[in-house]
């Protein structure tokens, strides 16, 4: 009997592939993609191993308390009654009768995370004022954070006031006004953000929660001073990003802000405490890990598109290889332009 051909025993003889065979080209591109992903994953593992083995870094991490979220400068600033009053008068200038005794700090602890949410609540005459800092990069997920904060606050309020949600008597819901403070440079088109618009395409029957966005060239008052403080810190963090000791950038931030009059009184009176808070919040390990994951996702998308794969197929790959949800996979695709360029973070 003659020897079986490759096609007869079920194997494909790649030597028989015709020139210009799209499937062969796709196989090569997919192989290249897999190698790139493996390389990025190896880099991530190496970075994590280096961090764990580095004695100086390990000592730095051990000096931080990261088992639960710590107060940020944003929250610490508004624990002081004088700044609470300044903030309230700025947000509600029409209220001329408010007194410091009527402002009650209402803070929810995010005990399941190891980095801080900059969310703050003030309880005023039965109304909860919720504020969140969006930090450097704008994300529409901020409206979810605010809604979450409100309902977690309601849980605490119900518990403290001994209301029974299982009774037939209607509970007393706190009135709420929400604000987002965004000190970043990205242009924001609207001054209001809506949970319904962001996540449910504005469908009328879906739940909603709205917040006013304070951003851009907003000027005057404690909010403006805080936004300028954030911008100075972002600049100094970029300048000192390669320093092993983050204290240099932190100290320089405080020094510049005092000189320029941004939160001068607060910083002069609480300098050591502010620098300690900023140091405790500094988490290069977490940031680097998130950047590596972003590069992996971006590489998957870029190489997939270069290979001629439809977005639907790339979406399946993201779900299968990385365990992301279908909605998040689609959001990753929508967030990246259809080009072959992998953006450096």
Please, which residues bridge with residue 104 across strands? 123
The pLDDT score that the predictor gives to residue 35 is 79
Please, which residues bridge with residue 273 across strands? none
18 pLDDT band, cuts 50/70/90, is low
Please, which residues bridge with residue 192 across strands? 212
The pLDDT score that the predictor gives to residue 15 is 46
Residue 302: enclosing H or E segment and its boundaries?
A: helix 284-306
The pLDDT score that the predictor gives to residue 157 is 87
Helices (H), the chain: 22-53, 55-62, 73-77, 81-91, 142-160, 195-200, 221-239, 247-260, 264-281, 284-306, 311-322, 326-335
Which of the two residues, 34 and 152, has the higher pLDDT score?
152
The pLDDT score that the predictor gives to residue 22 is 60
The pLDDT score that the predictor gives to residue 340 is 35
Going from N- to C-terminal start, the domains of the chain cover 25-64+284-345, 73-283
The pLDDT score that the predictor gives to residue 55 is 45
Phi/psi for 131 (5° steps) reads -125, 145
The pLDDT score that the predictor gives to residue 114 is 37
The pLDDT score that the predictor gives to residue 288 is 60
Mean pLDDT of 88-115: 77
Please, which residues bridge with residue 103 across strands? 124
281 pLDDT band, cuts 50/70/90, is low
Give the pTM.
Answer: 0.63
Mean pLDDT of the chain: 78
Contacts of 233 (CB under 8 A, 6+ apart): 249, 250, 253, 278
285 pLDDT band, cuts 50/70/90, is low
pLDDT at 212 over 90: yes
Strand order in the sheet with 192-194: 103-106, 119-124, 127-133, 175-181, 210-214, 192-194
pLDDT at 52 over 80: no
The pLDDT score that the predictor gives to residue 220 is 77
Of 43-47, 108-112, 190-194, the least confident: 108-112
Handedness of CA 93, 98, 101, 103 (dihedral sign): negative
Identify the residue whose tokens are 């209001």.
192
The pLDDT score that the predictor gives to residue 50 is 58
Of 16-30, 76-90, 185-199, 321-335, the least confident: 16-30
- pLDDT tens-digit map of 130-147: 998 887 678 899 999 899
- pLDDT tens-digit map of 287-342: 566 667 778 888 888 888 888 888 888 888 888 888 888 888 888 888 765 443 33
The pLDDT score that the predictor gives to residue 137 is 79
- % the chain with pLDDT above 90: 32
pLDDT at 206 over 90: yes
Which of the two residues, 283 and 279, has the higher pLDDT score?
279
> How many angstroms separate the CA atoms of 224 and 237, rounded?
20
The pLDDT score that the predictor gives to residue 64 is 38
Mean pLDDT of 227-255: 85
């Amino acid at each position: 009997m003659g020897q079986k051909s490759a096609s007869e025993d079920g194997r494909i003889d790649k030597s028989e592939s015709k020139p210009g065979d799209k499937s062969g080209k796709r196989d090569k591109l997919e192989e290249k993609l897999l190698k790139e992903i493996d390389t990025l994953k190896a880099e991530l593992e190496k970075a994590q191993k280096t961090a764990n083995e580095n004695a100086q870094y390990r000592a730095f991490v051990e000096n931080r308390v990261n088992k639960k979220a710590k107060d940020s400068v944003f929250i610490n600033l508004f624990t002081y009654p004088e700044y609470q009053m300044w903030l309230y008068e700025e947000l509600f200038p029409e209220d001329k009768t408010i007194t410091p005794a009527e402002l009650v700090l209402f803070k929810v602890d995010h005990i399941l995370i190891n980095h801080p949410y900059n969310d703050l609540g003030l309880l005023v005459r039965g109304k909860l004022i919720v504020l969140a800092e969006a930090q450097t990069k704008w994300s529409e997920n901020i409206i979810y954070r605010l809604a979450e904060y409100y309902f977690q606050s309601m849980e605490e309020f119900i518990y403290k006031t001994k209301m029974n949600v299982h009774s037939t008597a209607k509970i007393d819901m706190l009135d709420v006004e929400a604000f987002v403070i965004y000190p970043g440079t990205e242009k924001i088109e609207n001054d209001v953000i809506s949970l319904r618009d962001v996540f449910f395409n504005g469908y009328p029957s879906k739940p909603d929660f709205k917040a006013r966005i304070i951003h851009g060239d907003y000027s005057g008052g404690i909010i403006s001073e805080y936004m300028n403080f954030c911008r100075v810190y972002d600049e100094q963090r970029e300048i000192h990003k390669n320093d092993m000791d983050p204290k240099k950038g932190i100290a320089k931030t405080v020094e510049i802000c005092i000189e320029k009059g941004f939160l001068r009184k607060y910083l002069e009176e609480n300098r050591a405490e502010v620098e300690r808070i900023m140091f405790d919040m500094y988490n290069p390990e977490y940031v680097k890990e998130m950047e590596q994951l972003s590069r992996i996702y971006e590489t998957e998308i870029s190489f997939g598109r270069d290979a001629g794969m439809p977005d639907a197929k790339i979406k399946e790959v993201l779900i299968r290889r990385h365990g992301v949800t279908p909605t998040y996979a689609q959001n990753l695709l929508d967030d990246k332009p259809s080009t072959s360029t992998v953006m450096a973070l």
